[in-house]
Amino acid sequence: MDKQIKKVALSAAKPAGEMLKREYEKFDRGQIMLKSHHEILTKCDLMSQEILINEIRKYFPAHGIISEEKANEKNYSEYCWYLDPIDGTTNFSMHNPLWSISMALAKNDELIFGLIYAPMLKEIYIAQIGQGAELNGRKIFVSKISQGKVLNTFCHGREDVDIKKALAYWRKQKLNELDCRQMGSAALELSYVASGRVESFVAPGTHDWDVAAGVLLVREAGGKVTDFTGRDWRLGDSDIAASNGKVQTQILRAMNK
């Protein structure tokens, strides 16, 4: 089953990624549709979603699917996929290559597989429960940095309260002389934590499809993922704090002050 899940996820993500690369090169921001005051939706999101869902349904017709751009379909199955057809739509629309496809699979609400594909970076991150995390087939691990050159990243949901929390967090970290940046793709920011490129990622107001794959990546790479109280993150939590484990106390303190 593990090998089939990975095979199907790759057979979905790769053609979706190739399609998105072609669209990215010729994309015109005039095609953007407003989904809310803070979010955009493009035809490319919907095209990518269709490819992902069709491939999953071909091999796992009974599995539930929860995707950013469609109504939830849990189907009463013990298995459920969490999909973000383009994580970082704004980056995509402005020809910034930091966007990705995110796919995660849970069994009875426990994450068992995650894949994040960044087509323009030619990077595929994969995690399987109990088997570690990898980038383009090579094992990855969180960093060992706990002080000095600590790099923090952050994101936020669309609600004003989430934006204010994120801005307050950014301000505290910057005033504490700790680097803190927003990359615009929660999936990639979590991938960067897992691969040791940055030490942490926090975000108030996320959705499962934004972060599920990245959560498993960080955990399988040796990191820690909690909510803002320090309890282990689980599906349904809107607030997330992920790190190499060594800076977890610091980022939670900065978020909760």
Q: How far apart are CA 198 and CA 169, in angstroms?
A: 17
Residues 189/180, Cβ–Cβ less than 8 Å: no
Q: What is the pLDDT of residue 78?
A: 93
The yes or no reply on domain 2-140 and CATH 3.40.50.620 is no
Phi then psi dihedrals of residue 91, to 5 deg: -55, -45
Q: What is the pLDDT of residue 27?
A: 77
Q: Residue 232 burial by CB count (10 A; 0-12/13-18/19+): exposed, middle or buried?
A: exposed
| Parts of the chain belonging to CATH 3.30.540.10 | 2-140
Name residues whose C-beta falls within 8 Å of residue 241's C-beta, 6 or more positions apart in sequence.
200, 201, 202, 225, 226, 227, 228, 233, 248, 251, 252, 255
Alpha-carbon torsion angle 67, 73, 77, 82, nearest 10: 10
Q: Which CATH code is given to the segment(s) 151-256? A: 3.40.190.80
Task: Kindly state the tokens that stand for 192.
Answer: 């960067």
| Parts of the chain belonging to CATH 3.40.190.80 | 151-256
Name residues whose C-beta falls within 8 Å of residue 146's C-beta, 6 or more positions apart in sequence.
199, 244, 246, 247
Q: What is the pLDDT along the chain (257 residues), one digit of tens a residue?
A: 578 999 999 999 999 999 999 988 887 776 666 565 445 567 888 999 999 999 999 999 999 999 977 756 666 689 999 999 999 988 998 899 999 999 999 999 999 999 999 999 999 999 999 999 999 999 999 999 998 889 999 999 888 888 898 888 989 888 887 888 999 999 999 999 999 999 999 999 999 999 999 999 999 999 999 999 999 999 999 999 999 999 999 999 999 87
- Where do runs of H (alpha helix) occur along the chain? 2-26, 43-59, 89-93, 160-175, 186-194, 208-220, 248-256
Phi then psi dihedrals of residue 29, to 5 deg: -65, -10
